[in-house]
Structure 1
């Protein structure tokens, strides 16, 4: 009897291990090499998800080349130190200043949500009536692409939304890239367990 139970437990552990291994391979493959969206000729809005200031300059180029009407900027509630003044600057203001310096009119830039995570950002996008049934282009990073698409499907707003994934700049080290991939992998695992896991694990900043 004890032998049967032991064999059953070992078999179960082996089965779960194989499933987890296959899941890990599938997930890492999609993080590293996500399915690319076919970028269209025009969009109603370009959306910038917070996390990388370089997204603003890319979004500005997309705004003009895709004849967009508005740019939506995540209204992230965190701040960063301003080394010129010594004070703190809201993250969304960094994006605003970058867009303004790229000749985007302020009236065409809309802040949305009160966000501290990618989950928050996509959830708040879902609430914006003006973009429903419109073509939307989201600018994000390459290794962020897969998780963003997961969240778009989770909130049922994936239709008419394309993702423009930015490749890492040449000055980004291999170590930094590997950290980004691993971080995305664990955030996806946490999403499967908790959905909005920021409510469970507050120290992790979901970017």
Structure 2
């Protein structure tokens, strides 16, 4: 959301700021607890790629009925408890706008989800996506297991060499405490088809990565 220095984006940004001073809700899903609500083989993946409205929208379009069981936008990577959207927008909480995905690994692999991640945003820009600037818009992969960390590092190395051909800014770090974003952010672009979409969110046409 915030389009720094772009006057045409201002009304949309101001509309977001006048939302109620609500706080996020602690979801608390972990690899151990996700099976309480979803099938026993369900797994979690969490990524940050700029404005979470577009990230959720693109993942749902690509993987609905193809292994995506659920998705929530929220905040991760910071220190504050129950951060609000307004607080996160200041950059003072340390959180990233992120997407938490519940997926069926028999239908879609973690590797496929990460390859999509590197196609749908620009991982070379530090703390920014398109006109959105700030640490909350950073590129990051938050892993839950040693295996996810291994896969993330392997794909990132190949993506940097074979696709983007320049240094990536993407962080690969352990998943910490997750907070669901306020209700009005969930499925935002489904409910508001003309809502703001970050211009850096589109699928790039890259050749398949080497095995």
Give the structure with the larger helix fraction.
1
TM-score (norm 1): 0.28
